Amino acid sequence: MSRWVLWTVGAVVLCAAVGAVGSLLLSRAACRAATQNGTVRDFRQFTEELERDVRGQVPLGSPRTFVEEFLAKEGMKFSYDSSLNSTLSSAPCLKGSGIIVKSLGLTFRFDHESKLISIESHIHLTGP
């Protein structure tokens, strides 16, 4: 094998390694940016406990302002969708996330008086 081929293979392997490390660091940075105080937040013991905590602290019949104050206090990102009369929230980078990032999505549905009528949850997996 010629020296040129060896240098090319070495350069490609080095670029792939740098790209993999960069991707890992960027995904960690994204998790830190998405969570409280710049650290990856341990959302308890994954989804069951978090979901149980949310359902226990946000009873049905709660006003929308109470729900959104709770989400803000817990450091969860959320937005209100007026067409669905729902608040959509996400608890990003759950414990156990690695290359595949696990997030818990919560949908809080309200009636015409902005009182909570249901809480739905779903897991989001993002990654390569």
Taking only the tens place, the pLDDT of each residue in 107-118 is 999 999 999 998
Question: Residues 4-22: pLDDT tens digits?
Answer: 888 888 888 887 777 766 6
Name beta bridge partners: 42. Answer: none
CA distance 76 to 38: 13
SS3 for 110?
strand
Q: Residues 60-70: what's their mean pLDDT?
A: 91
Please state, in angstroms and as integers, the Cα–Cα distance from residue 70 to each residue in 1, 11, 39, 63, 97, following that order.
Answer: 64, 51, 20, 11, 24
Band (pLDDT 50/70/90 cuts) for residue 39 is: very low
Q: Where are the domains of the chain?
A: 3-126
| Length of the chain as a residue count | 128
Return the H-helix or E-strand segment holding 47.
helix 47-57
